[in-house]
């Protein structure tokens, strides 16, 4: 009789251990789902807001473009496979590389890339001033 009581107690202990393991697995699964479906997307959303825009006027600032047609102070440049009307303070020649420093409507303002090496800094300042608006 004494032996049966020990086996019974051992059985209850195994059942309690199985229950504890099951609870731990369920809690782990719920925690994983919480992180995967709530915290990670929220973190990506918040960090994505700080990233520079890659579309629209802000995304074009600082890009190096190729001059395709030019007449005095205006012409066409190639940007991402598209032709855009552009203006410049100085005449450019076909084949020159220019950098976009401003966008007004559908007209790009460009400068000769070789003349101004600080354009990237200026473009980043323009981008940051437009993002804070």
- In sequence order, what DSSP letters do the residues of 57-73 get, joined into one string? HHHHTT-EEEEEEEETT
The per-residue pLDDT for 6 is 47
The per-residue pLDDT for 54 is 63
110 and 86 both lie in a single domain: yes
Q: Which domain holds residue 89?
A: 56-131
d(CA 33, CA 91): 60
CATH number, domain containing residue 126 = 2.40.50.140
4 and 21 both lie in a single domain: yes
Number of domains into which the chain is organized: 2
pLDDT tens digits, the chain, 133 residues: what are they?
A: 444 444 455 555 788 888 999 999 999 999 999 989 998 888 888 887 766 666 677 778 888 899 999 998 899 999 888 899 999 998 888 888 899 988 988 899 998 887 555 555 666 666 666 555 5
64 and 126 both lie in a single domain: yes
36 and 62 both lie in a single domain: no
41 and 77 both lie in a single domain: no
d(CA 46, CA 44): 6
The per-residue pLDDT for 75 is 93
């Amino acid at each position: 009789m004494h032996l049966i009581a020990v086996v019974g107690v051992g059985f209850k202990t195994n059942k309690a251990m199985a229950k504890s393991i099951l609870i731990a697995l369920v809690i782990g699964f719920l925690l994983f789902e919480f992180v995967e479906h709530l915290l990670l997307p929220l973190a990506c959303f918040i960090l994505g807001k700080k990233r520079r825009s890659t579309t629209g006027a802000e995304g074009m600032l600082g890009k190096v473009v190729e001059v395709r047609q030019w007449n005095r102070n205006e012409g066409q440049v190639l940007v991402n496979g598209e032709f855009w009307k552009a203006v410049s303070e100085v005449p450019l020649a076909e084949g020159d590389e220019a950098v976009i420093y401003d966008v007004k409507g559908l007209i790009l303002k460009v400068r000769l890339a070789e003349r101004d090496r600080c354009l990237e800094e200026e473009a980043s300042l323009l981008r940051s001033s437009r993002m804070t608006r």
